[in-house]
Structure 1
Amino acid sequence: MSDHEYSILDHDRGRIFQYIGTGITILATLYAASWGLLGQLVTRIFPSVWGFVPKTLDSGVAFAVLYFAFNRWFWRNWVCRKLFGFHNVSGEWSVAGTTLGPAEALPQGGEPRQWAGNVKINQQWTKIGVHLRTKTSESFSLSAAVKDHDGEALLMYSYSNEPAARARTADGLQVHRGYCELRFSEDGKSASGWYFNNMGRVTYGEMALTKIDRRT
C-alpha cells in the first residue's frame, strides 16, 4: 500500500510550521550564546567557521528532526490532537459490509448481501493510506480527507478496487473505482459509514468497522 497526501479540513498546517519555526528560533538564540553542541565542536576544530556554517547546519538539522518527529509521532499525542483538532484513525479494523443495491447486484429475492474483510489505515500528519482486503478483492485509497464531526472523525476517501484472479473469472468482477465515508466513534474503537462503486462495478452499501486490538 502506498501512502499519499490528504487534507485535514478546517485545519491550517501553516500554524504547525510556525510553531516549529518558533522552536528553531529559540534554538538559534541558544546558538548565539555558543550553546549549540555542533557549534562548540566545530569551534574547537575550526574556530573561523563558527560565525555562520555551524548555526545554519544545526538549525537545518533541528528543523528536519522536529518536523520528522511531529509528522510521525508527536501529532498523535493527546494534547496535540486536542489543541489542533487532529483525529487519529490509524490501525487495523475488521469490517462487516452490506451490499444494499442495485437490485441486479443482489441475490434472488433482493435481500442485502453480507460480506466481510479487514482494513488497515496508515496515518501520519501529512500522509494516509487505506487498504481494504476481502476474500474476492482489495482496494487502495487514492485521495482522502479527514474532518471533525461533532467531536468524531469523518474520513472521506476515494479508492481503486482490484478483484482477485478467481473473482474475475468466476464472478465476473472488474477493476473499479469507488468512494467511501466513515464516521469514527470518539473512543476510536468503531466506525460506520457507506460506500458506492462505479466505473466497472455499480454497487452501493454500508460498512461497520471494529478496531482490532493487537495487544490482547
Structure 2
Amino acid sequence: MIHDHEYALLGGINRAKVGRYLSVAAAAISALVMLCVLALWDVAKALGLPPNIPPAVLSLIGAGSIFTVLYWFLDRHAWKWAPVGGWLKAPDLSGEWDCQGTTLAPDGSVAFKWSGTVKIVQSWDKIRVRLTTSTSGSNSLAAALVCDEADGFRLLYNYRNDPRVGKPELQTHRGFAELVFSPDRSTAEGEYFNGHGRFTFGTMKLVKGVA
C-alpha cells in the first residue's frame, strides 16, 4: 500500500525548533487550564458541592495531550494559513495539476509528447506526488522541498512508475523529477529522468486546477 512520506524542508524553519515552540505553548496552555480547573474546584468547595475531578480530565489537560492536539492542528490546517506558512516557508502545493510532458531523444529533439494528471497530497511534514497517465502511474518515494528566494519553490522527488495492465511494452521503473513552481504557485516547470527499467528523460509543465 502506498503511503504519504516525510519530506525534507530546505530553507524553511527547522521542524525540531517548531517542536520546541509547540512544547512551550503546550506547557503554558496546560498550566493555564489547570489553574482554571483548580479555581472552579475552589468555587465548588465554597458552594458546598463535592469537588471531584476525574483522572480522565486531568490527563486531557496535560501538556503531552495538548502538544499532540497542537501538532495535529499545525500539521493538518494551520501551516496552510498565509501568515503561518510564510513564517514556516512551507508552500502549499497540494491539489491536482494538469501535466504536459515531452520525452526527448538523446540529441535533444522531441521523441514524443504525453499528458497526465499530477495529484499532490501534502501536510506540513508529509507529502506524496501521484502522476497518472493513460499508460502508467507513479508515486513519489522520497522528496525535498527547497525554498529558493531567487527562482521560487523547488520540489525534488524520486518515484516508482508502474505500467497499466495491458501495456506489456512498458516496464516498471524508477526515476527522479525536479519542479520549479511560480511565485503564485499556479504553474510549474521541470525535468525528469528515468532509469532501472526505462531509460528516458524529458520535461514537464504543470498548471494547477485543471482536471
Flag whether TM exceeds 0.5 (same fold).
yes
Structure 1 pair 31–132 and aligned structure 2 pair: CA distance change class (3 A): same
SS of 2:90's equivalent?
coil
Aligned to 1:13: 15
- How far is the alpha carbon of 1:45 from its aligned partner? 6.9
Distance (whole Å) between structure 2 residues aligned to residue 186 and residue 87 of structure 1: 10
The answer on 1:123 being equivalent to 2:126 is no
Structure 1 pair 213–16 and aligned structure 2 pair: CA distance change class (3 A): farther
TM-score (normalizing by structure 1): 0.83
Q: How does 1:29-48 map to 2 (within 5 A)?
A: 29-35=31-37, 47=52
Equivalenced residue count is 202
Aligned to 1:94: 98
Write out per-residue CA displacement over residues 11-61 of structure 1, whole angstroms, 9 at most, x where no aligned residue: 310121122112212213313423479989xx97774777xx744431233
Deviates more, 1:2-11 or 1:192-201: 2-11
- How far is the alpha carbon of 1:102 from its aligned partner? 3.2
- How far is the alpha carbon of 1:87 from its aligned partner? 1.3
SS of 2:144's equivalent?
strand
The answer on 1:58 being equivalent to 2:74 is no
SS of 2:3's equivalent?
coil
Aligned to 1:23: 25
The answer on 1:79 being equivalent to 2:79 is no
SS of 1:2's equivalent?
coil
SS of 2:160's equivalent?
strand
Contact 2:98 2:210 in 1 (8 A): no
Write out per-residue CA displacement over residues 167-214 of structure 1, whole angstroms, 9 at most, x where no aligned residue: 22xxx1100000000001110100000000000000000000000168
Contact 2:41 2:51 in 1 (8 A): no
Distance (whole Å) between structure 2 residues aligned to residue 82 and residue 76 of structure 1: 9
The answer on 1:176 being equivalent to 2:173 is yes
TM-score (normalizing by structure 2): 0.85
Amino acid at match of 1:3: D
Amino acid at match of 1:164: R
Unaligned residue ranges in structure 2 (runs of 5+): none
SS of 1:34's equivalent?
helix
Distance (whole Å) between structure 1 residues aligned to residue 60 and residue 188 of structure 2: 45
Structure 1 pair 69–32 and aligned structure 2 pair: CA distance change class (3 A): closer
The answer on 1:164 being equivalent to 2:164 is yes
Unaligned residue ranges in structure 1 (runs of 5+): none
Aligned to 2:155: 155
Aligned to 2:194: 197
Write out per-residue CA displacement over residues 140-182 of structure 1, whole angstroms, 9 at most, x where no aligned residue: 10000101112621000000000112222xxx11000000000
Aligned to 1:67: 71
Structure 1 pair 139–128 and aligned structure 2 pair: CA distance change class (3 A): same
Amino acid at match of 1:79: P
SS of 1:6's equivalent?
strand
Amino acid at match of 1:185: S
Amino acid at match of 1:159: Y
Amino acid at match of 1:154: R
- Identity %, equivalent residues: 36
Distance (whole Å) between structure 1 residues aligned to residue 185 and residue 175 of structure 2: 24
